[in-house]
Every structure is written in structure tokens, then in C-alpha cells.
Amino acid sequence: MDELRNRAILLNSRPNGYPSQSNFKIIESDIPEINPGEFIVKILWLSVDPYMRGRMSDKKSYAPSVGIGDVMVGAGVGKIISSRNNEFEVGTIVEGRFGWQEYAISNGTNARKISISEKDSSQALGVLGMPGLTAYFGLFNLGKPKPNDTVVISAASGAVGSVVGQLAKLTGCKVVGIVGSDIKASYITKELNFDNAINYKEQNVNQELQNICPSGIDIYFDNVGGETLETVLENLAFRARIIVCGQISQYNLYDDEIAHGITNFRNILTNQVTVEGFIVSRFSADFPQAFEYLENLFSEGKLKAKEDIITNLENVPTALLRVLTGENFGKQIVKISENN
């Protein structure tokens, strides 16, 4: 394989506030010979997700930080081009935590074969991957939705939020999405069948929630935290459930900046609310059933997914910034090369 060169993006420094290009460094290297049990994946698609901001920080979190000089972590989908592992043959499409690079060597531990066609294989990073599973387990296992429950979702047109809303609609819930543009608002109501959308940049979220949810919110699927969370806490139904999946509004603070303070925590008491933070890996034992459920819905056309695709490895940092600022529209994917 010595004709092949790999390019990878390393973490070069830790960001203060939003990340910038200078926090990353691109390097080129030979791809080493593989050992027995290993295989080489040519990466086709990289996933770009909000949690990556957390990995760039050295603050304590649920997963270790990326070290300075290490390849940035992340999931990708690729094709096996060389293999010394009988379980993973050349030509197989796999999804795994391959990092921000063009080629990855794996022993199969963190890779899964996917049954989706190569053309649609990027979906294994979105609706048919971790974001889809996150939506599924957060909504069903923690939210415990019933028909007619009012479900509010922030970052509602995103990779997770859009699936949460569609699954809640299929359960018979009333679904309200909070988004950051009129185009996204129109997308979730017209294409995804949400009942209502609120554009938090243009509308008074509190007023809209009061109007749209007169009996209060039964389930809040929180991807953003901060002010939106505080506003939702003013509009909860008795025994509401809050699923804390992301807090993206608080991910890009400057070192001397304090996170938004939630001043109405007391409503958790008065409304007897359950708030639960979760990381999808907790439910790994049940991933197979969830994948099957989501794949069936998707193949029947009952679960729609929008992708926002940028091309070229060097654009992954730009794609991350898009996700963190909400500029992306749909699941952010980087297509590694034009001629995938």
C-alpha cells in the first residue's frame, strides 16, 4: 500500500470560544503495513457533530479529551480496501470511529458493517447511525411519550431533533420544533409534519410556547440548553420529562465566560419534573432493535433525513463551525473527496 498517502487532521490547540482553523493542523503520512486482524478503510463520509467541541476541551466530560497532536475523533463511513481480517472483506462498507482522516486502520472492534447501499451509506452517520439512535432512546426510554403528549424539541431540524420529532409524530404526539431560521421552520412543518415551529431568532419563544402549548409541555428534548431551556422551564406540564441530550448554546464559551444561569430550577420541584441527561452508549445492548426499527421506517419512506454535505477533508473544521453556529441545515457530513 506504499503508493497510498493518508491525510489527517490533528488537534493543534484548544479553542477559547468557537474553534477556528488554527486549532487544527493537517498532516500527511504513509499508511503503514497492516497486521493480522486489521484492515484499511478508505473513508467516504465523515460525520460532524456538536459533541466534538467537547472533545477539543480539556474540561472533564463523559469521554476523554483529544490530546494535542492527536487525530480528531469522529465517526465515518468507508470502504475496506485491504484486509487481513476474515470478518471484514475488501469491498465491505463499514461505519466506525475512524477519526478525521482519509484512511483508517481498524481491527474491527469499533466498526460495524452496514446493510445500506453504498450510495445511501452516509445515512449510517445520521438517521441510521448515532444521531438516530440518540433520538430513539432519548425519546422512548427517557421521554416515555404517549399519544397527545406535547413534545418540544430544540435544534429541531438537526440530525437528532428531526428524528425525535418524526418518531414523536408517529407516536401520536403534538410536536413543536424550535429552530433558528424560517427555512428550517418551514422544513420541519411542511416536510417532516411537525405541528408547529418557532424561530427563536425572530420570535418570542415564551409567548409562542404559551400560545401553542396551553396545557404545558410534557416532553422537552433539549439539544441546546441556556436561555431556551430556561424558557421551556416556564411552560412545563405537571410531571414533564426533560431529556438533556445536548447543551450546544453553552459549548463555545470563552475561558472567562460563565454559562447561562438557569434561574427557574424551582419549577422542576413545583411541576414534579424529571430531568435526565444521557449519552446514547448507555443503551448499547438495545442498539440492534433500534437500528432495525429505524432502517425499516427509513426504507418505507416514513422517516426523512436531510443532509448538509461539504466536500474535502480540509473542510471538516469549517463544517464543525457550521454545526456549532447552526449554519448547517440537516445532518452535517463531509464527503472526503469529489470522486468518492
* Residues engaged in binding its own copies (CB under 8 A): 54, 60-62, 225, 229, 238, 244-247, 250, 258-266, 268-279, 282
Q: How far is the CB of 274 from its own copies (least distance, A)?
A: 5
Q: How far is the CB of 115 from its own copies (least distance, A)?
A: 30
Looking at the Cβ atoms of 34 and 244, the one nearer to its own copies is: 244
**Grid coordinates standing for 154?**
430544540
Q: How far is the CB of 105 from its own copies (least distance, A)?
A: 30
Looking at the Cβ atoms of 79 and 260, the one nearer to its own copies is: 260
Backbone angles phi, psi at 318, to 5 degrees: -60, -40
Looking at the Cβ atoms of 231 and 247, the one nearer to its own copies is: 247
Looking at the Cβ atoms of 222 and 295, the one nearer to its own copies is: 222
**Grid coordinates standing for 138?**
432519548
Looking at the Cβ atoms of 107 and 274, the one nearer to its own copies is: 274
Residue type, 219: I
**Grid coordinates standing for 321?**
463551525
Beta strand residue intervals within 69-195, DSSP E? 76-83, 93-96, 103-106, 111-113, 150-154, 174-179
Q: What angle do CA 215, 216, 217 make, to 5 degrees?
A: 135
Q: How far is the CB of 207 from its own copies (least distance, A)?
A: 17
Q: How far is the CB of 53 from its own copies (least distance, A)?
A: 12
Spatial distance between the Cα atoms of 88 and 97, rounded to a whole number of angstroms: 16
Backbone angles phi, psi at 96, to 5 degrees: -170, 175
Looking at the Cβ atoms of 40 and 273, the one nearer to its own copies is: 273
The alpha carbon dihedral of 208, 253, 260, 221 has a sign of: positive
Spatial distance between the Cα atoms of 308 and 211, rounded to a whole number of angstroms: 32
Q: How far is the CB of 245 from its own copies (least distance, A)?
A: 7
**Grid coordinates standing for 141?**
426510554
Looking at the Cβ atoms of 269 and 300, the one nearer to its own copies is: 269
Q: How far is the CB of 251 from its own copies (least distance, A)?
A: 8
Spatial distance between the Cα atoms of 54 and 37, rounded to a whole number of angstroms: 32
* Cβ proximity of 52 and 321 under 8 Å: no
